[in-house]
Amino acid sequence: MTHAAGVEGPREGLVGPSTVIVMVGAPGAGKGTQAQRLAESLDLITISTGDLFRAALRDGTALGAEVRKYVEKGILVPDPVTLRVVEERLAQPDAAHGVVLDGFPRTRVQAEALDLMLAHEQSRVSAALYIEVEAPELVRRLAGRRVCSGTGQHVFHLDSRPPRTPGICDIDGTPLVQRNDDKPETIKARLARQLPPMYEVVDHYQGTGVLHAVRGDRAMDEITEELLRLAQRAPRKA
Ligand SMILES: [Zn+2]
């Protein structure tokens, strides 16, 4: 395993984030929301690769142009590029106090590369917080989304954001529909692709001793409290 491509070893004087919390969870597990809540409570910043890619597309850097090649074709940004994007973000001054990573690492290879990257900067993953939700429950949650058939812009959810009148958009009164992407069969196929690499990430952090699993089939607030407790107990960089 080499250092992230395109970066020649540790940069002088660079000090990595003092707290690095990695959020692990399937789509529908509530990971993004919990990442935001943790970051707010602990005064850390969240780093989501989705946001980083969108930012990279906006700025005119060489790295942004590299990211654009993949995003515009709708293909997965390859690991070396993703790692460079993350590494650049971690090196920003506002990340020095600590970060919550959301959506990265997505694979074991990325998790190993992150460990190496942080080690170069005298830092390490403080805690990997895994929000565990059974696959059938994920399917149920993800299949609950309904969108307005008028604009497609108004989004509801049978559990978390139900329309006032079932099946009808609150905003413009047009019928709500289920997108093909949100049909159970499509979701199951997507999860079948996404879960195995996520389990490898879970295994990786189990192996490095920083994994904490929490049950995700509870109220959001309850999960937040437990995650906060775990994050605060996590060792920090000396
Ligand atoms: Zn609408």
Q: What is the pTM of this model?
A: 0.84
- Write out pLDDT tens, residues 190-223: 999 999 999 999 999 999 999 999 999 999 999 9
Greater confidence (151 vs 26) lies with 26
Mutual angle of helices 62-73 and 79-90, in 10-degree steps: 130
What's the 176 CA to ligand 1 centre distance in angstroms? 8
Does the active-site annotation cover 145? yes
> Out of 54, 179, 183, 215, which one is annotated catalytic?
179
Name 223's Cβ contacts closer than 8 Å, sequence gap at least 6. 30, 34, 131, 214, 215, 216
Residue 56's pLDDT band (cuts 50, 70, 90): confident
CA distance 34 to 61: 31
Q: What is the pLDDT of residue 7?
A: 43
Q: What is the pLDDT of residue 13?
A: 38
What's the 54 CA to ligand 1 centre distance in angstroms? 26
Does the active-site annotation cover 179? yes
CA distance 19 to 30: 21
CB 16 within 8 A of CB 121: yes
Q: What is the pLDDT of residue 16?
A: 65
DSSP-based helix, strand, coil % in the chain, nearest 5:
45, 15, 35
- Write out pLDDT tens, residues 71-116: 888 888 999 999 999 999 999 999 998 999 999 999 999 999 999 9
> Out of 84, 106, 124, 146, which one is annotated catalytic?
106
What's the 143 CA to ligand 1 centre distance in angstroms? 19
> Out of 84, 108, 141, 145, which one is annotated catalytic?
145
Give the chain's largest Cα–Cα span: 60
Residue type, 219: A
- Write out pLDDT tens, residues 132-169: 999 999 999 999 999 999 887 899 999 889 999 999 99
Does the active-site annotation cover 31? yes
Residue 46's pLDDT band (cuts 50, 70, 90): very high
What's the 180 CA to ligand 1 centre distance in angstroms? 18
Q: CA torsion angle for 112, 113, 115, 116 (degrees, to 10)?
A: 120
